[in-house]
Amino acid sequence: MTDKRITADLAVIGGGGAGLASALRASESGVENIVVLEKRPYFGGNSGMAGGWVFAAASHLQKEAGNQATAADCFDEAVIYHHYERLNLELYWNLIQRSAFTIDWLETLGAEYTVDGPWTHRPAKLDVDFGYFRRYIDRMAQALRKRGEQIIVNAAVTQIKAEDGQVTGLIYQDATSGELVQVDTPNVILASGGFIGNDELLCQYFPNQYYPGAYLTDAIPLQGDGIALAREAGAKLQDYCTLLREPNYSFTKRNHAPNRVGGCPTAMWVNQMGRRYMREDAAGRNEKANPLIAQPGMVGYAIFDQAGLDALCHGELPFFIAFDPSSIQDYLEHESRKWVCRSDSIEEIAAWIGAKPDMLRQTLDEYNDFCDQGEDLRFGKSPEYLSALRTSPYYAVKFCPLMIDTFGPVMTDRELRVLGKDDIPIHGFYAAGVIVSGWEGREYYLSGSALGLSLACGLLAGETVAKDMEGARYADQKTM
């Protein structure tokens, strides 16, 4: 039994970037009487905590910057990288093809994007920073409310109702009053986000990439409620998902100032055995994270000497750090030995790591020989990053991969209609954002797509709802 009953032409589950974009785009496309339901006391989701990097292909910004790459070029590059595995190719192409429109649409909200270089597929705001995108989340909400639509917070959806392959409504619980409210609606967009806060689901979907207690982003620890809702409504779920990770993080929290010190390419990176395991100047997120995950305990150590630390603190190294380099020395001097070891003795460093002293010494001697020769004969590290470690004291900084977000497992068609177990769309059921499967493969690849393609999902889902509603009205008129 429910305590209250309301009606809507469209209900959106989730008040993050994808959910608000889908609701606003549906409204712009002619849908009325829309309600957005957000479980938390505030809307925005993890999109509201994003820095603002947005993937796009062949946008007007890129064309103006001289970038000749097409959406097809970007699509080919991505699917080849993924070996065509785990991708909904039609959906993936649809989102990449439409990504330029995402930039145009964001500009109507006042976004002032520029291109991060003539080659890139990642337009970026000049003042990108943690939480920067929140301002555009707020503008979406303002625009939606101005159009007369509702955003209800503290509304935890407990059930999506579907009968005979057709959505009929949903039930949510008001967290403040405890009331159960039934929403009678023929259309639902599921945009509830990922499950980065759910240990059980993370272990289920990523048994070789995650363990309880692994480093998690400072983002909202979403529990994946939408997965159970979709399953109970008859949706088809993939048996695998994608995990977005970043490497070289320490101190548990993403926004801890010296976190990226571990990623300094002039340091020597070793595993718990005291052995180098990769070239320290690898460029890409996956190229760094995947080898780290393969190491014992999913942990690495960045080792540098006082000369290297001095160069880092004075901004003399070819390495970008998003904080004041002068603060690094203080942090490393006073940080707990859980994270940092400082010693005049390499043997003491080895003991702290848990490595055999002879192994770490052998690794260091070999590395220093490579630096003297100007050629890394083991992994091919670029000579510009080869800097011998001979000036005590020595520092070792522990780092681990950081788990940021998940993608999947709800399956849809190319226009984001949720598929039933028979691969036929459930009428009136749509999905958007990172809960959708098929626009990331085994690895996160297209930089900026976590936000950019989530927004593209939202925009497309809103348009699809409007198109389907118009088609239904036309069919009804023909039968009259």
Cβ 367 vs Cβ 276: under 8 Å: yes
Please tell me whether residues 24 and 68 are part of one structural domain.
Answer: yes
Residue 436 CB-half CA count within 13 A: 35
Return the CATH number at 338: 3.90.700.10
Residues 460, 347: one domain? no
Which of residues 352, 374, 403 is at a domain's end?
403
Whether 351 and 470 map to the same domain: the answer is no
- Boundary (domain end) residue, out of 338, 370, 403: 403
Q: Which residue has the tokens 């980065």?
A: 196
Q: Number of structural domains, the chain?
A: 2
HSE at residue 50, side-chain half, CA atoms within 13 A, is: 25
Residue-wise burial string across 154-170, b where 16 or more C-beta atoms lie within 10 A, e elsewhere: bbebebbbbeeeebbbb
CA 374 to chain centre: 37
- Same domain for 198 and 315: no
CA 155 to the chain's CA centroid: 24
The reply to whether 185 and 282 lie within a common domain is no
Final residue of a domain: which of 403, 429, 444?
403
Residue 294, domain extent: 247-403
What does the alpha-carbon distance between residue 233 and residue 190 come to, in Å, rounded to a whole number? 11
Domain CATH code at residue 412: 3.50.50.60
Nearest-angstrom CA–CA distance, 160 and 462 = 18
Locus of tokens 């006391």: 41
Could you give the angle at which helices 17-28 and 449-479 cross, rounded to 10 degrees? 40
Looking at the structure, tell me whether residues 128 and 274 fall in a common domain: no
Q: Are residues 260 and 380 in the same domain?
A: yes
Q: Does residue 285 sit in the same domain as residue 224?
A: no
Q: Which amino acid is at 233?
A: A
* Full pLDDT tens readout for the chain, 480 residues: 789 999 999 999 999 999 999 999 999 999 999 999 999 999 998 887 777 678 888 888 888 888 888 899 889 988 998 899 999 999 999 999 999 999 999 999 988 887 766 556 655 443 344 457 888 999 999 999 999 999 999 999 999 999 999 999 999 999 999 999 999 999 999 999 999 999 999 999 999 888 887 777 767 889 999 999 999 999 999 999 999 887 766 655 545 555 667 778 889 999 999 999 999 998 777 888 889 999 999 999 999 899 988 887 776 655 544 445 556 666 666 666 778 899 999 999 999 999 999 999 999 999 999 999 999 999 999 999 999 999 999 999 888 888 889 999 999 999 999 999 999 999 999 999 999 999 988 888 787 888 899 999 999 999 999 999 998 776 665 555
Phi/psi region, residue 178 (left: phi>0; alpha: psi -120 to 50; beta: rest), is left
- Single pTM value for the model: 0.90
Residues 389 and 258 in one domain: yes
- The backbone torsions φ and ψ at residue 304, rounded to the nearest 5 degrees and listed phi first, read -145, 165
Q: Residues near 347 by Cβ (< 8 Å), separated by ≥ 6?
A: 357, 360, 361
Looking at the fold, whether 170 and 133 belong to one and the same domain comes out as yes
